[in-house]
Each structure stands twice: as C-alpha cells, then as structure tokens.
Amino acid sequence: MGIYPAPLEVLVDRLASLPGLGPKSAMRIALHILRSNEANVKELVKALLEVKKKIKFCSVCFNITDTDPCNICEDPGRAGHIVCVVESPGDQLAIEEAGAFRGKYHVLHGALSPLDGIGPEDLKIGELMVRIGKDRIEEVILATNPTTQGEATASFIARLLAEKYPQLHVYRIALGVPMGADLKYMDRLTLEHAFKSKTPLKT
Amino acid sequence: MQHFRSDAIIVRVREYGESDLSVSFMTRDKGLLRGIAKGGRKSSRRFVNCLEPLSLVLMDYHQKAEGKAYFLDSCRLVDSFPGIRENFESLSLASYVIELLELLFPYNVTDPRAFDLAKATLGFISRGADLQKVRILFEGHAMALGGYAIDLNKCAICGRKYTAKGDGVILMEKGKFSCLKCSTPTEKHPLLSPQAISGLRAVQGGAWETLKHLHLSPEDLTQIGHVLKMHVAYRIGKRLKSAKYLQ
C-alpha cells in the first residue's frame, strides 16, 4: 500500500508516464488537479478526449490536423512545389513558428534507427516518393535533426530521390554555428560542420 | 563515492524524467553500463554533441556506492564516426555491431577486447571499408570472443584432425565442423571450401589488427558470410533488430 490514496497514486503514475514528466512534476500536477474545481477538471477530461477523437494525420503531409487535408496543404499562398521534410510534427511546428519557410511539409514520423528496429518501411518515406511525382514537387529540403539517425535518414532519402527523380533539387538544411553564439565555445563537431557548409558571401 | 574516467561508446540514449537522459554505454574497463545524465537534455556544456548513439567519447562518471546507479558528469567527443551517418547501410551495420556485442557481453560481463573490437569496427565502417568484409570479420571475431567459435580443428563425428585439405561441412546445431565422409552438405549443413575454412579460422583466431590485411576471395566471403549468419542465428537464438536491414 502506498503512502497516498490509491486514486491519487494511479493519477500520478499515469501522469509520470507522459514524456518529460518525472514523479515530482506528476505529483505537483495531480495535487493541482485535486485542488481544482470539478468544472475545470471536466474541461480537462473533455479536451483530452476530444484531441484523441478529432485530431488525425493529414493524408497529404502526415502532419497532425483536425481537417483533412490540413490548413497548410490547402493554403494556396504557399509554394506548392517546395517540400520541407521533417521528422516529427514538433519539428514542423518549430519551423512554422520561425516563419522562415513558406512551402509545404512532409512529416516522416521518426528517423531511421536500425538499433531500435525502425527502418524505411516504418516511416512515411514511400508516401513522400509518391507525393513528389503526383504533386510535381521541384524542390525538397531535408530538415531532419542533425543526430546520427537524422543524418542517416537524410542521406537515405537524398539517395532515393536522386535515383527516382534526378531532375529534383534536393537540399539539406545548413548545420553549424547558431546565431549569437561565440566561436570560442563551439564544440569540434559543430565547427567541422560549419566549415563544411561554408557559403560564398554575396557582395 | 567513486569517480571514473573511461573511453566509452554510446549505445542507447533514452529520455528520463523531465530533463535527464538514461544512457547505455560500453567501456573498455567495465563493459556495458547504464547511467543517468542529469540535465542531459538541456546541457549545452557538459554533454554537447556527445550523447549520440555510436559515438566514441571520453566520459567522466561516478557511482555513489557499489551496486548503485552510475551518474554521468561530463563527456568529450573523441570520434563521432561521421561515415556511419552517410548512408543507411553503414548505420545498419554499425547498429548490428553494437546490438550483437550487447548480447554477447551484457551488463556485468567485461572483456576489454569487445570494446576494442567495437571501436575498430565502427572506425572501419566510418572510413568506408567494404561492408560485407567488415561484417564477416566482425561476426567471426565477436562470436569467438563470446565463446562461440566454430570448432574447425577436427571432424565432430569421426574425430579426425582437419589438415586444410578438402571441403568440409558446418553442423550448425553443434557449431562444429564435419568432414565430407561423415556428413553431406544440406541447407542446414553448409559446405565450406578449404580456403574458406582457413579464412574462417583466421577470422576467429587472428589478432583483430591484422585481419584487415586478410585476403578473402569473393567466393570465400560469400561462403563464410552465409555460415556466420546462420551461426549467429543458431547461437543467439533470436533475430537481431538491426539484422534485417543488413541486406
């Protein structure tokens, strides 16, 4: 028997199983829920159920959406011939918040990781290949994370694209020194990438 | 509290709690370990670019008491093996190397040669060596280190010593060799030429540093590769997750 009442322990267990939440934060949230009035808790439960019921994957880009196709895929103001490939909806959201890209997206839902048994068939790579031919895409920007798995995924997709669509322009997002950083504090790998990705200055 | 500093190969990294990471890593002196990198998800100084699977790092870590969990203090990247990231085939083989060594040398089983083998193999893969050859050299050597070398010295049935003349058959279920007088080649009992047998002997018993100079013909490589693939499957008893991506 635990030191807390059973229903509270169950709630803490459930919350602690969520990504990014440890037992202490889970307990803090559980106690907050306990202190909240019943109407607020019902609203929370309703929101949780609705998100599960209404949110689905866009049939074009596989981003999460409540309409199909999603707002971005339906937006005529966006460049339909440019696709940015990202690993997860969170990555797409980060790019969208930056406002730096006005094309369309394709969400892979993961990265290649043979050690975890994740191969090309587990990602939305086949769908990307079909989409490029169907939607007459001219440019693909591979924006997977600069991790071992993300880099291998980008290389894998780039090779497939080169074989199937040799006329397609394929880019990798630049890797290197972040804005506002100090070179003195950069690690070796970042500096290596920065020098590999050097670009000519336009004067 | 005991502090340690070791070369380590990062094996797996998982999110743990709010800002920590649970890291499996292979060291030369203590074998496979698991530790917690407190604040590892947010740290831009102590663990920058280091906690990437299949990277070689110099790791500082500590253990509060014998038998308790390890805690990672900081890491410095020694080699990221960049060639591994350049294509899926290299990543798959590198993953296979780590997965097989994890099974052969699990937690609490230490053999410095396993760490040296992992480090050298990842280096070969990263530098763009022939992946088929690297796989064969690695598999044969790793299985031998793990105590699963195929006995090629004498026929398992008649006991006659093998003198490197004539074809032989590998009895997969026994992990042993048989002469052609005692066994006939079948799907489960693959045939090996004398050259392939001496090649496999060298792979299993030779010093790892000298193996890269070992000459094996394409036919030998195919025969040895087939035998080792079946041998790993028989001895390990399960299909490795990364194995299906090796073709």
pLDDT tens per residue, chain A (203 residues)?
568 899 999 999 999 988 878 888 899 999 999 999 999 999 999 999 999 999 999 999 999 999 999 999 999 999 999 999 999 999 999 999 999 899 999 999 999 999 999 999 999 999 999 999 999 999 999 999 999 999 999 999 999 999 999 999 999 999 888 888 888 888 888 888 889 888 888 77
Which residues, 6+ apart, have CB-to-CB distance to A160 below 8 Å?
A: A125, A129
Was domain B2-80 assigned CATH 2.40.50.140? yes
**Residue B126 and residue B89: Cα distance in Å, rounded?**
11
Mean pLDDT rounded to a whole number for chain B: 90
Q: Hey, which residues does B188 pair with through a beta bridge?
A: none
The residue extents of the domains of chain A are 6-54, 74-172
Neighboring chain B residues of A148 at a CB cutoff of 8 Å: 52-55, 84-85, 91
Tokens 């591979």 identify what position?
A: A142
pTM comes to 0.87
Cβ contact A114–B96 (<8 Å)? yes
**Residue A86 and residue A93: Cα distance in Å, rounded?**
10
Q: Tally C-beta pairs within 8 A across A and B.
A: 70
pLDDT value at position B69?
84
The residue extents of the domains of chain B are 2-80, 85-149+181-245
Confidence of residue B91 (pLDDT cuts 50, 70, 90): very high
Tokens 């790791």 identify what position?
A: B59
pLDDT value at position A3?
80
- ipTM (interface pTM): 0.85
Helix (H) or strand (E) segment spanning residue B107: none
Cβ contact B242–A190 (<8 Å)? no
Beta-carbon count within 10 A of B13 CB: 21
Cβ contact A148–B52 (<8 Å)? yes
**Residue B224 and residue B218: Cα distance in Å, rounded?**
10
Predicted confidence (pLDDT) at residue B148 exceeds the cutoff of 90 = yes
Helix (H) or strand (E) segment spanning residue B59: strand B56-63
Cβ contact A151–B92 (<8 Å)? no
**Residue A149 and residue A143: Cα distance in Å, rounded?**
12
Which residues, 6+ apart, have CB-to-CB distance to A56 below 8 Å?
A: A64, A65, A66, A68
Spatial CA neighbour of B77 closest among B10, B28, B124: B10
Over the Cα atoms of chain A, what is R_g? 22
Q: Chain B: nearest CA to A69, how far in angstroms? A: 31
Which site among A116, A148, A188, A191 would you substitute to test the B interface, given the most B Cβ atoms closer than 10 Å to its Cβ? A148
pLDDT in tens, B178-209: 988 898 889 889 999 999 998 898 889 877 77
Spatial CA neighbour of B110 closest among B167, B33, B35: B33
Give the start-end residues of each E strand in B85-175.
168-171
The CATH class of the B85-149+181-245 domain is mainly alpha
Cβ contact B91–A188 (<8 Å)? no
Over the Cα atoms of chain B, what is R_g? 20
Cβ contact B85–A188 (<8 Å)? no
Was domain A74-172 assigned CATH 2.60.40.1120? no
Beta-carbon count within 10 A of A197 CB: 13
Neighboring chain A residues of B84 at a CB cutoff of 8 Å: 148, 152
Burial of B236 (0-12, 13-18, 19+ CB in 10 A): middle
pLDDT value at position B26?
96
DSSP state string for chain A = --SS-HHHHHHHHHHHTSTT--HHHHHHHHHHHHHS-HHHHHHHHHHHHHHHHH-EE-TTT--EESSSS-HHHH-TTSEEEEEEEESSHHHHHHHHHHT---EEEEE-SS--BGGGTB-GGGTTHHHHHHHHHHTT--EEEE---SSHHHHHHHHHHHHHHHHH-TTSEEEE---SPPTT--GGG--HHHHHHHHHT--PPP-
CATH topology classification for A6-54:
Helicase, Ruva Protein; domain 3 (1.10.8)
Cβ contact A115–B18 (<8 Å)? no
Token readout for A52 is: 């599960």
Pair type for strands A103-107 and A79-86: parallel
pLDDT value at position A198?
87
Q: Chain B: nearest CA to A151, how far in angstroms? A: 6
Three-state DSSP state, B221: helix
Which site among B18, B45, B97, B238 would you substitute to test the A interface, given the most A Cβ atoms closer than 10 Å to its Cβ? B18
**Residue A166 and residue A169: Cα distance in Å, rounded?**
8
